[in-house]
Amino acid sequence: MGRKMVSKIAENKTLELIFDFGSPNAYLSLKVLPAILERTGATLVITPALLGGIFKATGNKPPFVQYAEAPAKMAYERLEMERFITKHGLTAFKMNPHFPVNTLLMMRGAVVAEDEGRLCDYVDAVLRAMWEDGLKMDDPEVVATFLSANGFDGPALLARTQEDGIKAKLVANTQAAADRGVFGIPSFFVGDELFFGKDRLDQVEEALAG
């Protein structure tokens, strides 16, 4: 029994984030997470998964489609985002003018960066490109130029996104997330417990601390 308890405590000190660059709320969440990780002593694991694939697998739809005929609901979603931004002082954030952006290339790039041990650097850089600089990150030339200016070999990384193993890993991650009950991003796991959205970060912290 003691060994099981130790195992459970260790498991709860890992926070897994199911992640795609296409979600502005994923950006906002990642800006808040460092303080939560520091307070709880938890370790963050980022799992790249394709949001479009999750939507397809689960029958879910993005808010701008889901609430297209409910403008008051969409307006409230924007209000909640603004409140979160103000609360946490996330003044660098701005909606990408090209939104929605096809994230397939970026997400395959994330799998390449993970394979090369640079996922965190890649995520930090590409989040900035998407949600601070407003770049069109489904344009391969834009992506290659940006990556090369930010510590990566852009052309080499993009070439690897066409490898069968990289493509298959992203597909497998996406299906595995859907199989675990994920229907949108950002989704968080503390052990086997699922939390969805930036508005559940208080619950995530409680789970990590508990």
Q: What is the pLDDT of residue 2?
A: 36
pTM given for the model? 0.90
Residue 45 φ/ψ, nearest 5 degrees: -120, 125
How many residues in total does the chain contain?
210
Calculate the CA dihedral of residues 68, 189, 47, 67 and round it to 10 degrees.
Answer: 0
Q: What is the pLDDT of residue 135?
A: 98
Q: What is the pLDDT of residue 71?
A: 85
Q: What is the pLDDT of residue 8?
A: 43
Q: What is the pLDDT of residue 163?
A: 98
Over the stretch 30-63, which tens digit does the pLDDT of each residue have? Answer: 999 999 999 999 999 999 999 999 999 998 876 6
Helix (H, G, I), strand (E, B) or coil at 189: strand
Q: What is the pLDDT of residue 186?
A: 97
Number of CB atoms found within 10 A of residue 175's CB: 15
Q: What is the pLDDT of residue 64?
A: 64
Q: Which amino acid is at 197?
A: G
Residues of the chain with confidence (pLDDT) below 50:
1-10
What is the spatial distance between Cα 111 and Cα 113, in angstroms, rounded to a whole number? 5
